[in-house]
Structure 1
């Protein structure tokens, strides 16, 4: 079956699989370092409480069988170890079937985490990693040439990622049609990077060019992925350049990086293909069966794309095999931030000694310049951005966060850049206030050294203390 394989893509497969394993590594590392405070046994949204109301069929996960913080930590670090092994090329040293099992094991391990992650794992790039990771298992290893049908399905995912994002923009916000969205986006995006201030201060005509180029890359170029080479390689390369522009301008966890990895699978590298054996019959049957199933399941994301009621970042099955993607269907014109403060004083007055908690990634101190964290995912910082958009986004977790700050919870404080209180002296009260943030001008930056200017808007959460402390004071 000569039509079944494409030997000329052997190097593209190698680069794609090694890069995908690096993305997996960041995903498991994020889980291992953050889970205790977010979803641990004493976390803000504990896994055991979630599993008590979530049937296995709706969220398959190994943690339905057993959960403890120690087990979750071991699971996450094991995922890191398998990822490193795949980066090093262990799958190529194994028989074909064993290499496939190793990739599927990594997918199943991360699926188990996502399906118990709740709000903290509700981002589109979680499903994207799972969808791509599942398909990567059927690309084979050095024992066979990459199958054509799997390469096609990877391009199909890339097409849905880019084209779906382009459609949601055109449909969702007039500023995309007027080419004005980037007058605001670099300032109001969830987590600015170290260069975001400079991107925002680019001339407005260049912002128009940015938006127009984005529309071309997301609405026209994806169609070229299904054309003969070298046109498909040119199309994928344009997408990579666009994604690198986004990497420079903000912190979007691994969304940009996994899109780049996907695009690499469509690139035909100028390298001679090594001689490989013909694929075994069992492998052909498995690949074609899986491909047929995924094509059938693709009905749902296609229907969503052509619908006027298109939604973003939704999975259509509990295994996250097919999903719909998209980002920034609407763009905020004003940036709001929730600033959390605590005081050790017995009576929380306006003139009390309120001390501000500092987060790692989200804006806080106007003089502190943003840092680069992506592809590492700061989950709490991202949810704080959503909380500033509307208190409704914080309803399930914000109270738990405040409670743990009042307790000086060690795991929670590790998610922050700095706590203003010593470990043995927690605050008596914590409050949250909403501020409007804007980038300073060139003149303001030179005179004050601050990249942000902030203005108080309103109270987000009144001074709050632990219930036990309130009862004792009565």
Structure 2
């Protein structure tokens, strides 16, 4: 079937596959370095307890067969090794069936991690990586030309990512329609980057232009992905430029990078490289690709309906394997930045003059003099959830109590998630958490004080607690 392949997209596939393998590497590395404190056997939300409360239909995956921290670590590091092999092009040196297996393994391993990750893995970039990774299994290797159907399915994912995000904005917060959301967003986003302060200080008319350009890129340009070349390449190029702007202005894990990777697959590189000799794909491969394409189209019904629904939801998986999902972000924008500051003291008896020392986080704002760092595409899961906890204690109901308990124990794995532990030798006697209002300083304040943030105490998040019978129960709301 001559229509089945697109020889000119061999370089698009190559770039896409190597970029996706790099994202897999980051995802598995983040899981390996953070899981023990978050979901390990002694973690804040232990996997064994989650497995006892759920069944196969809710969360199918490898850990249904066996779970231990050592086994989970082996899964993560195996995923890292597979990702490195794919970055190096191992799939190009094996038969087609083996190349597909090389891409299927990291997808299955990461799916198993997401299925037991609970609230720590509840964000859209997890489903996006899984959906994109599943389609990558069908792209073939250097021995065969890329299948047209899979290339179209990748554009369908990209369309839903961009158009879904555009629709949730235009239907949501009025500031998107008034073009004023960026007056607040760079200051109140979950995890600012090193340039976010400067983006926030751009002139407000430029912010209006940014929002208007975002609407064009997310609501109009995605339709052009399905136009003939070079229009589709130009549309993908505009999306890449927009995503790079977002990369510079904040930390959004690998969300932007998967989106860029998807856009790269839509670019026609035939003008810059001549296709190598490629064999005719075997019949079994064509049958598999056509069958999976039909499955994806059937599963696309609910996500597509969600796109046009007045009750559109963001970042929802409609099947347990995350094969076809709906996406979106920032349907509403916070006007005020609230941050939880966690403090401890080694004093056994508390009094008005008790000296409290602050814990430092890697990514979330803390010390007003510390410029936020760039971590994306690496994802700091605890830092990200702390932002949500400040918005509403309900987001922290399941894990904040266990987090505090582990700080009171100087738990090694938990402390590895933090940048600074003020009690390196002896655990603190008491822990408290307080909510502060953070705002960016002005140029004048920055020059005078050296502070990037100004913060003001708002309220207690949890009052001082210590280990003992009266300790904050994990089931109680902070």
Task: With the length of structure 1 as denominator, give the TM-score of the two structures.
Answer: 0.98
After superposition, the C-alpha distances for 1:144-166 in whole angstroms (9 at most, x for unaligned) are 10000000000000000000000
Counterpart of 1:50 in structure 2 is: 50
Unaligned ranges ≥5, structure 2: 472-478
Find out whether 1:306 has 2:308 as its counterpart. Answer: yes
Match of 1:33 in 2: 33
**Residue of structure 2 equivalent to 1:259:** 259
Aligned equivalents of 1:3, 1:68: Cα separation in 2: 48
- Identify the range of structure 1 (347-356 vs 135-144) with the bigger mean alpha-carbon deviation: 347-356
- Paired residue secondary structure (1:139): coil
* Alignment counterpart, residue 344 of structure 2, candidates 330, 342, 345: 342
| SS of the residue 1:57 aligns to | coil
TM-superposed CA distance for 1:351, in Å, is 2.3
Confirm whether residue 380 of structure 1 aligns to residue 369 of structure 2.
no
Query: 1:469: how far off?
Result: 8.7
- 1:409 — aligned with what? 411
What is residue 225 of structure 2 aligned with on the other side? 225
Cα deviation 1:78-100 (Å, max 9, x = unaligned): 10000000000001111001100
The aligned length equals 469
Structure 1 segments unaligned to the other structure (5+ residues) = none
TM-score (norm 2): 0.97
CA distance in 2, matches of 1:254, 1:213: 22
User: 3-state DSSP class of the match of 1:56?
Assistant: coil
Partner of 1:444: 445
SS of equivalent to 1:454: strand
- What displacement does 1:275 show? 1.6
Aligned to 2:392: 390
Matches within 5 A, 1:76-95: 76-95=76-95
- Deviation string for 1:373-408 (max 9, x for gaps)? 000000000000000101011001000100000000
The equivalent of 1:430 in structure 2 is 431
Q: Give the structure 2 partner of residue 101 of structure 1.
A: 101
Counterpart position of 1:16: 16
Matched residue, 2:468: 467
Instruction: Give runs of aligned pairs for residues 31-430 of structure 1, distance below 5 A.
Output: 31-269=31-269, 270=271, 271-422=273-424, 424-430=425-431
Q: Deviations over 1:73-126 (max 9, x none)?
A: 111001000000000000111100110011011100000000000000001000
* Whole-angstrom CA distance in 1 between matches of 2:326 and 2:384: 20
1:336-373 Cα shifts (integer Å, max 9, x gaps): 00000001111223421100000000000000010100
Query: What are the Cα deviations for residues 188-218 of structure 1, in whole angstroms up to 9, with x where unaligned?
Result: 0000000000000000000000000000000
Please give the secondary structure, in 2, of the residue aligned with 1:435: strand
Give SS of 1:212's match: helix
* Separation in structure 1 between the aligned mates of residue 308 and residue 37 of structure 2, nearest angstrom: 40
Residues 6-46 of structure 1: CA distance to partner in whole angstroms, max 9, x if unpaired? 00000000000000000000000000000000000000000
Cα distance in 2 for partners of 1:103, 1:346 equals 55
The two structures, once aligned, show a CA RMSD in angstroms of: 0.8
- Give the Cα–Cα distance (whole angstroms) in 2 for the partners of residues 392 and 469 of structure 1: 21
Q: Does the residue aligned with 2:53 lie in a helix, a strand or coil?
A: coil
Matches of 1:349 and 1:146, distance apart in 2: 70
Residues 291-350 of structure 1, C-alpha deviation per residue, up to 9 Å, x if partnerless? Answer: 000000000101111111100001011100011100000000000000000011112234
